[in-house]
């Protein structure tokens, strides 16, 4: 691959500050990488270049272009240019990653002014698991104030953290939370009291973090906004450090990042920013497209034409997407939507009656495509929500065609993942001091998952034998099982693997004193030891190894925050039991405090179904050969996936446009664009839903190459009838 160092200047002679706007797939990121190549090739010091991306996986194209550009510069005959190409690396950051790095760098300078009790104590950055665990301890005494909301406690914690994050990224004080939320509610006093409780809890959480030098996402962004962006010393640092700026998908950033970009535009020599339209899919995570649009005022705006929409271009999903967006925004239900690039998997306007029939129709059409020569990995199935039952049903129906389903669900709670549950089961066996017996069914599922070839039926035979050997106290350690009759039924190879696993757990439990060895070390050594041997899952399944790595990283970050806050002697009152034991998600709390180590606390947090923290891999995970991609709509869009064929499931569903039930937070009222004191009405909700739906379907269509298949059922999985905005807009198709 050859680069022409002046290619970008051919597009824009005299370029200084450019703002690219265009649909997905028209080459905006390619032009950013060309600009990077031009800078390196022109002799710019790489360490004076800043590249901002929305998430880690987006950085790969820039890294690949950088490697080739450096090779070309080093091979050139211009000695000075080659020397400069060796001077460091460009900084490639996610939006939050850069803020975290700069807050850490300048922490000694801002800590006292920010209110930290010990400004000389190095801070610990908390992941979402640690933040939710800590917040739960603060919520516990006031849990009764939220009983009328009737939602799991884990959802309560997530919404309070969301409020903290929004206050920081939008730039309003926590003391305004209750009043802002109240403006979106037209009901009675109990909800108003809940809003005040949320504000009190958020402030208490912030005080605790400042007292113990703990920094969660919200505090990190608050430090960046309030104590760096406005500081003269930081402005001087940025001006000297970053002379050239490249930023992709700025519409996905929060206003605080746009404030930083505005600073860069004032102090840098050159800048090139790119915006996807339609975009701004991370609205629920703070994305503010309107805030990004303000950056256009200080740049030269360059629209990138889309050849798929030019007169005379063949019919395409992109053209259909543009027409569908217009139909949604104009409420033109009867607008004719004609496209050869779209096909309904049902007759006329009447969708398939049953949900399972719809899934079967999708599987049959995927099978037909694969048999016609289409690679399975070029097919994507998207839905507003991807639940376990959908994964199972689609996988089972695709098996007859020899096709797999690769599900990507980053927001899925860790403990919902079978591998994580298995590793938690073995942790309870490896730490007998926790006094948490394992049930036979838990042990059977864990053994079947980690021992290759062992099905659940035979694993249950092993687990039942273990229960009999352990007696009425339950399974607190794997017993020796040497009965020949058992292994004659199960299979002798499984005896050897069981014995290897038992031997390792016995050595671990006996060799590590109570509350001594970290849980993340336990999982690391378990994965690197018996689990990686032939006959175990990690020796054969790379995806399982990646899942374990994520769990280890999560547990390690949790432990560091736990120890920093000295939480060992906080009242826990928790037992490792299924959360269904309480309508609030937790069993009752005893009044007597008990000492708990970080590992046990982490397992408790997992059992509460906290959301998984995201640990980005070094590269975007590829869809395996022979498998289709199955993902929620938001995951597909924010993951920057592209597909030849897309299947849109449940197009009748309301959750294509309706927000999830979140009574204690609000993505629009808690935004910079919303004026305090204004009332949020049903008309506002409809307008916001319509706008977001149009951007979602447009974003999907512009990321599809050949054809979109629409699938619907009259009855949902729960047996209810629905007809949402998307279904109404599609009636003219």
Of the pLDDT bands very low, low, confident and very high (cuts 50, 70, 90), residue 14 is: very low
Q: 496-500, 618-622, 699-703: lowest mean pLDDT where?
A: 618-622
Whether 43 has a pLDDT exceeding 90, the answer reads no
Rama region for 721: left / alpha / beta (φ>0; ψ in -120 to 50; rest): beta
Residue 670: its pLDDT value, please?
Answer: 93
Angle of helix 255-267 versus helix 232-241 axis, rounded to 10? 60
CA–centroid distance for 538 within its chain: 24
Residue whose structure tokens are 């009867």? 334
What is the pTM (predicted TM-score) of this model? 0.87
Structural domain count of the chain: 4
Task: Give the model's pLDDT for residue 619.
Answer: 41
What would the two tokens of residue 539 be?
Answer: 């020796």
Q: CA angle, corner 536, sides to 532 and 537, nearest 5?
A: 85
The per-residue pLDDT of the chain, averaged, comes to 87
Asked if residue 333 has pLDDT above 60, the reply is no
On the question of pLDDT at 65 being above 90, the answer is: no
Average pLDDT over residues 684-694: 93
- Is 558 found in the same domain as 440? yes
Q: What is the mean pLDDT of residues 271-290?
A: 90
What pLDDT score was predicted for residue 568?
Answer: 66
Pair 472, 595 in one domain? yes
Q: Give the pLDDT confidence score for residue 584 in this predicted structure.
A: 33
pLDDT digits (tens, 9 = 90+) for 536-560: 988 777 778 888 988 998 899 889 8
Judgement on whether residues 572 and 635 belong to the same structural domain of the protein: no
Residue 68 included in any domain: yes
Same domain, 469 and 341: no
- DSSP count for the chain of H helices, then E strands: 27, 14
Report the range out of 7-21, 607-621, 703-717 with the highest average pLDDT.
703-717
Q: Identify the residue whose tokens are 């050997």.
A: 469
pLDDT of residue 227: 97
Q: Is 351 exposed, middle or buried (0-12, 13-18, 19+ CB in 10 A)?
A: buried
Question: CA-CA distance, 440 to 460, in Å (whole number)?
Answer: 7
Q: Is the confidence at residue 581, as pLDDT, over 70?
A: no
Residue 135 has pLDDT above 70, yes or no: yes
At residue 258, the pLDDT reads 96
**Is the model's pLDDT at 606 over the cut of 90?**
no
pLDDT of residue 700: 98
Give a yes or no: residue 722 inside a domain.
yes
Reduced to 3 states (helix: H, G, I; strand: E, B; else coil), residue 620 is coil
Mapping DSSP onto H, E and C, the string for 153-199 reads HHHHHHHHHHHHHHHHHHCCCHHHHHHHHHCCCCCCHHHHHHHHHHH
Q: List the one residue out of 326, 327, 365 whose CA is nearest residue 345.
A: 365
User: Same domain, yes or no, for 576 and 439?
Assistant: yes
Task: Note whether 363 and 464 are same-domain residues.
Answer: no
Tokens of 427: 């942790």
Domain edge (last residue) among 305, 338, 358: 305
CB 466 within 8 A of CB 479: yes
Residue 117 lies in a domain: no
How far is C-alpha 392 from the geometric centre of its chain's CA atoms? 22
pLDDT at 343 over 70: yes
2 domain-assigned: no
Residue-level pLDDT at 424 = 94
Residue 116 falls inside a structural domain? no
Other Cβ atoms closer than 10 A to 121: 13
Domain boundary among 582, 607, 632: 607
**CATH number of the domain residue 366 falls in:** 3.40.50.300
- Using 50, 70 and 90 to split pLDDT, how confident is the model at 491? very high
Are 249 and 348 found together in one domain?
Answer: no
Q: Residue 585's pLDDT is what? A: 39
Reference 219, options 133, 319, 131; nearest CA is 131
Whether residue 178 is found in the same domain as residue 245 = no
Is the pLDDT score of 503 beyond 90? yes
Over residues 75-121, the pLDDT tens digits come to 765 555 555 555 578 999 999 999 999 999 999 999 999 999 999 99
Distance of CA 731 to the CA centre of its chain: 33
* 154 and 585 Cβ atoms separated by less than 8 Å: yes
pLDDT of residue 576: 36
For 557-591, letters b (16+ CB in 10 Å) and e give: bbbbbbebbebeebebbbbbeebeeeebbbbeeee
CA nearest to 403, candidates 445, 355, 371: 371
Q: Residue 582 falls within a domain, yes or no?
A: yes
**What is the structure's pLDDT at 395?**
95
For residue 433, being part of any structural domain is answered with yes
Top-confidence residue, 567 or 120: 120
Model confidence at 5: pLDDT above 70? no
Which residue among 305, 332, 353 closes a domain?
305
Predicted pLDDT of residue 71: 77
Structural domain harbouring 375? 317-412+617-732
Q: How far is CA 302 from CA 18, 325, 415, 676, 704, in A?
A: 7, 23, 46, 35, 24
For the cut 90, the answer to whether the pLDDT of residue 705 exceeds it is yes
Tens digits of residue pLDDT in 360-412 = 999 999 999 999 999 999 999 999 999 989 999 999 999 999 999 999 887 77
What does the pLDDT read at residue 439? 93
* Tens-digit pLDDT profile for residues 141-194: 999 999 999 888 888 999 999 999 999 999 999 999 999 999 888 776 778 899
Work out the pLDDT band at 69, boundaries 50, 70, 90: confident
Same domain, residue pair 421 and 547:
yes
Tell me, yes or no, whether 585 and 621 share the same domain. no
Identify whether residues 375 and 405 lie together within a single domain. yes
- Given this model, what pLDDT does residue 8 score? 39
Question: Which of 280, 322, 327 is CA-nearest to residue 726?
Answer: 327
Task: Tell me the average pLDDT across 29-43.
Answer: 91
Q: Among 208-212, 213-217, 540-544, which is the least confidently predicted range?
A: 540-544
Are residues 468 and 593 located together in one domain of the fold? yes
* 237/220 Cα distance (integer angstroms): 19
Quick: pLDDT tens for 617-630: 444 567 889 999 99
Q: What is the per-residue pLDDT across 426-483, written as a single tens digit (0 to 9) for each? A: 999 999 888 889 999 999 999 999 999 999 999 999 999 999 999 888 899 999 998 9
* Mean pLDDT confidence for 202-231: 96
| pLDDT score recorded for residue 550 | 86
497 close to 535: Cβ distance less than 8 angstroms: yes
Instruction: Judge whether 218 and 201 are in contact, CB under 8 Å.
Output: no
The pLDDT of residue 79 is: 57
Task: Give a yes or no: residue 703 inside a domain.
Answer: yes
The pLDDT score that the predictor gives to residue 85 is 54
Residue 534 CB coordination number (10 Å): 8
């Amino acid at each position: 691959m050859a680069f022409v160092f002046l290619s970008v200047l051919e597009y824009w002679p005299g370029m200084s500050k450019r703002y690219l706007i265009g649909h997905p797939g028209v080459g905006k990121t390619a032009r950013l990488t060309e600009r990077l190549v031009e800078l390196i090739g022109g002799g710019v010091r790489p360490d004076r270049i800043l590249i901002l991306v929305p998430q880690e996986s987006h950085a790969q194209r820039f890294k690949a272009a950088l490697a080739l550009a450096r090779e070309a510069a080093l091979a050139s005959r211009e000695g000075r240019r080659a020397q400069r190409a060796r001077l460091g690396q460009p900084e490639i950051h996610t939006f939050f990653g850069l803020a975290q790095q700069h807050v850490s760098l300048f922490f000694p300078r801002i800590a006292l002014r920010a209110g930290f009790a010990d400004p000389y104590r190095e801070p610990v950055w908390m992941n979402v698991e640690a933040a939710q665990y800590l917040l739960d301890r603060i919520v516990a005494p006031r849990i009764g104030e939220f009983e009328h909301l009737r939602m799991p406690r884990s959802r309560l914690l997530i919404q309070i953290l969301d409020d903290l994050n929004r206050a920081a990224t939008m730039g309003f004080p926590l003391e305004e939370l209750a009043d802002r939320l109240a403006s979106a509610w037209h009901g009675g006093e109990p909800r108003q009291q809940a809003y005040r409780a949320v504000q009190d809890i958020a402030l208490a959480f912030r005080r605790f973090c400042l007292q113990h030098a703990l920094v969660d996402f919200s505090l990190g962004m608050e430090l960046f906004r309030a104590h760096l962006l406005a500081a003269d010393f930081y402005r001087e640092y940025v001006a000297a450090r970053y002379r050239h700026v490249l930023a992709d998908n700025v519409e996905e950033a929060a206003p605080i990042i746009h404030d930083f970009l505005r600073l860069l535009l004032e102090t840098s020599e050159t800048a090139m920013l790119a915006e996807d339209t339609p975009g701004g899919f991370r609205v629920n995570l703070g994305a503010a497209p309107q805030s990004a649009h303000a950056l256009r005022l200080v740049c030269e705006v360059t629209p990138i034409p889309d050849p798929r929409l030019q007169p005379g271009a063949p019919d395409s999903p992109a053209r259909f997407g543009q027409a569908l967006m217009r139909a949604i925004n104009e409420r033109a239900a009867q607008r004719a939507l004609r496209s050869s690039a779209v096909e309904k998997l049902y007759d006329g306007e009447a969708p398939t009656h049953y949900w399972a029939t719809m899934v079967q129709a999708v599987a049959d059409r995927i099978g037909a495509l694969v048999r016609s020569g289409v690679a399975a990995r070029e097919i994507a199935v998207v839905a507003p929500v991807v639940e376990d039952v959908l994964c199972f049903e689609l996988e089972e129906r695709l098996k007859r065609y020899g096709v797999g389903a690769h599900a990507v669900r980053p927001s899925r709670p860790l403990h919902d993942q079978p591998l994580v549950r298995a590793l938690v089961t073995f942790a309870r066996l490896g730490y007998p001091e926790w006094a948490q017996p394992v049930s036979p069914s838990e042990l059977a599922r864990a053994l079947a998952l980690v021992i290759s070839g062992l099905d659940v039926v035979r694993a249950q035979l092993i687990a039942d034998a273990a229960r009999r050997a352990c007696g009425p106290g339950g399974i607190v350690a794997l017993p020796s099982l040497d009965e020949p009759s058992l292994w004659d039924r199960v299979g002798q190879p499984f005896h050897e693997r069981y014995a290897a696993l038992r031997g390792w757990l016995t050595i671990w439990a006996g060799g590590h004193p109570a509350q001594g060895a970290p849980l993340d070390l336990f999982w690391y050594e378990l994965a690197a030891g018996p689990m990686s041997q032939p006959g175990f899952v990690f020796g054969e399944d790379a995806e399982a190894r990646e899942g374990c790595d994520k769990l280890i990283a999560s547990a390690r970050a949790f432990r560091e925050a736990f120890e920093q806050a000295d939480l060992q002697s906080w009242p826990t009152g928790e037992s490792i039991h299924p959360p269904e034991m309480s309508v609030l998600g937790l069993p009752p709390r005893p009044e007597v405090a008990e000492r708990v180590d970080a590992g046990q606390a982490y397992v408790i947090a997992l059992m509460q179904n906290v959301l998984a923290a995201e640990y980005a891999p070094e590269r975007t995970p590829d869809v395996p050969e022979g498998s289709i991609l199955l993902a929620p709509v938001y995951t597909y869009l924010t993951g920057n996936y592209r597909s030849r064929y897309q299947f849109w499931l449940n197009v009748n569903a309301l959750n294509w446009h309706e927000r999830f039930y979140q009574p204690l937070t609000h993505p629009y009222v808690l935004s910079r664009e919303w004026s305090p004191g204004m009332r949020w009405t049903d008309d506002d909700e409809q307008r916001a839903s319509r706008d977001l739906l149009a951007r979602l379907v447009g974003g999907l269509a512009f990321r599809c190459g050949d054809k979109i298949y629409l699938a619907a059922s009259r009855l949902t999985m729960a047996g209810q009838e629905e007809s949402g905005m998307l279904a109404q807009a599609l009636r003219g198709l």
